[in-house]
Chain A
Amino acid sequence: MSIFSERSLWGRLDDVQHDAGYDEDHPPRMGFFTDTSVCIGCKACEVACKEWNDVPDDGYLLTGMSYDNTQALGASTWRHVAFVEKSGAGAAPAVDLGMPSFDLPGAHPHGEDQATESGDGALRWLMSSDVCKHCTHAGCLDVCPTGALFRTEFGTVVVQPDVCNGCGYCVSACPYGVIDLRKDDGRAFKCTLCYDRLKEGQTPACAQACPTESIQFGELSELRERADRRLEELHEKGVDVARLYGRDPEDGVGGDGAFFLLLDEPEVYGLPPDPVVPTRDIGSVWKHVGIAAATLFGVGVASFVGRRK
């Protein structure tokens, strides 16, 4: 195993497996394209994931958050279907930045375009099945001190439970809030993109179970092309609010292995608007630590110079 698990820390990276030390003849990078515009909120993906991966239950409670009692991704929730109900007045138009701080004064056209576009006037439903993004530059993987998190030959990011010592560093380093420690177990868990199924040439359980093909599995390069066509199609139909999230290989995490087509701002679905892998700044971090350490040493030396008193 090489010393650097990631040779490139940030920016575009076209062959993530090779960067992680695999030979040139590794399999293509696999991923998910989740097209939320056709999601019907059936949660078949959540159930299939739990069943296949033998993920323990993490409590049953009623949240009052529309049909979402799952709440968020976590150590024992690897697919999470978000439900957003927006009334006409609350439905934000696509370009609304939602913050008066840099909106033009008065430029807050409350929700007409979305309401008319969706044609249902009063209420707009948004449903989206969230999952680990299998980042090109994965914060969780970068910081894992044990090497428990690793890049697979398919370009996905997977935890080895037999190595993880539950330090929790990955939890704080994921810019999407995906990975977490299982309290009673002590170790970190998240979506493996069904690594075991992939090795057998099978489709991940969630994509297999999805009845509307909202969750599409395949080679990432193909999925990106498919997503671009779908976006164009929606824009032609006048659905201006459609946008791709995690598709751009130049973004703060070098693009997601699991990316999305959304119908509103990412934060409406509980996604960060512009995530950046923390390790992008590791050079600056170490530089400042080095200077601070030298300063402390200097302070120590200086304390002994001068009058002996």
Chain B
Amino acid sequence: MREQSMVPEPEFESYYGRQILKTPTWKTPDVPLYLFLGGLAGASAVLAEGAALSGRPQLERVARLAAAGGATAGTVALVHDLGRPERFLNMLRVFKPTSPLSVGSFILAPFASFAGAAAASQVTGVLPRLGRLAGVGAAAFGPPLATYTAALVANTAIPAWHEAHRELPFVFAGSGAQAAGGLAMMLVPLDQAAPARRMALVGAALELVASERITKKGLVAEPYRIGRPGRLMRFARNASVVASGATALAGGRSRVLSAVAGATYLASSVTTRFGVFEAGLASAKDPKYVVVPQKERLARKETGGAAAHTEGQPAG
């Protein structure tokens, strides 16, 4: 299980080796799936508006349905994860900027409504102008929907998530772009899918760079490198690279290759979310990820005084 650990096992004391933090109670697959669906839906809404503006009806149709479908399925996953699903609407009882889940509920609710209305109008042909307007609304709420989920996991005491709070939003943005681009590459004819290909390519690059920065973070990032989450993260990275290679070389020429590359992007995006999620669980379960970095921080405070205070301070 500890294979490929680049950090020597640190010595530290603990209470019978027990974990200090509680393991997040968020369920698998509900929550990692929600992270994925939010990214897919959010980025698809942007793609749909671009397609509408640039006159690519088939791309528009696929992207609108992806935005609406992703938001609906994501909401189902989120509600299903609650211990008291019938109280889902309590999420909208207060608005708290300190709670990304609260802020997210106020992103998800309008997004799902806009994306749903836009897709319904697209499919039925009813109220096309209002439909377009709803589409613009969805495109505005899309990028926040795709990225706020990074704040959701980062604003926790879970070391692997919290210490990656600067990079995770970019991982999720890139992962969402890959998912939206990938799905459209699978389902849209080549001559209309060029923007989808570009979106996936740039998304993959963004995610690769941001993920790389996380995995380099030393002990707190170890869960991203070892065990099952480590394997998931590596699979996602390799899938992105392969899909991007295929897309760049022949994505615009071969329908089959475009579809295969698109599916690979989707697989990569799903896998990244499960990898990030499970890395967090692993980092809660082992007291070393809590004790060792905190002891180091205390030691720095003792020696460095003021120096320790500047690190990790909030921006505002």
Q: Which residues of A contact B20 (CB under 8 A)?
A: 176-177, 267, 270-272
- Say whether B155 contacts A289, CB under 8 Å: no
- Say whether B25 contacts A180, CB under 8 Å: yes
- Say whether A303 contacts B47, CB under 8 Å: yes
- Determine if A146 is an interface residue (Cβ-Cβ < 8 Å): yes
Q: What is the bound-complex CA distance between A9 and B90, given in angstroms?
A: 23
- Say whether A9 contacts B98, CB under 8 Å: yes
Q: Which residues of B contact A107 (CB under 8 A)?
A: none
- Say whether A145 contacts B91, CB under 8 Å: yes
- Say whether B291 contacts A272, CB under 8 Å: yes
Main secondary structure of the interface of B (DSSP, over half): helix
- Determine if A263 is an interface residue (Cβ-Cβ < 8 Å): no
- Say whether A171 contacts B50, CB under 8 Å: no
Q: Which residues of B contact A148 (CB under 8 A)?
A: 90
- Say whether B173 contacts A295, CB under 8 Å: yes
Partner of A278, one of B14, B156, B294, B296: B156
Interface size on A, residues (CB 8 A): 90
- Say whether A288 contacts B157, CB under 8 Å: no
Q: What is the bound-complex CA distance between A23 and B4, given in angstroms?
A: 56
B83 → chain A, closest Cβ, in Å? 2
- Determine if B96 is an interface residue (Cβ-Cβ < 8 Å): yes
In this complex, the interface size class of chain B, counting residues with CB under 8 Å from chain A, is 35 or more
Q: Which residues of B contact A269 (CB under 8 A)?
A: 15
B186 → chain A, closest Cβ, in Å? 16
Partner of A302, one of B172, B202, B296: B202
Residues A100-130 near B (CB distance < 8 A) = 100-102
Partner of B150, one of A4, A143, A289, A307: A289
B90 → chain A, closest Cβ, in Å? 4
The interface centre, meaning the residue of B24, B95, B166, B169 with most chain A CB atoms within 10 A of its CB, is: B169
Partner of A171, one of B24, B144, B191, B194: B24
Q: Which residues of B contact A3 (CB under 8 A)?
A: 94-97
- Determine if B2 is an interface residue (Cβ-Cβ < 8 Å): no
- Say whether A297 contacts B294, CB under 8 Å: no
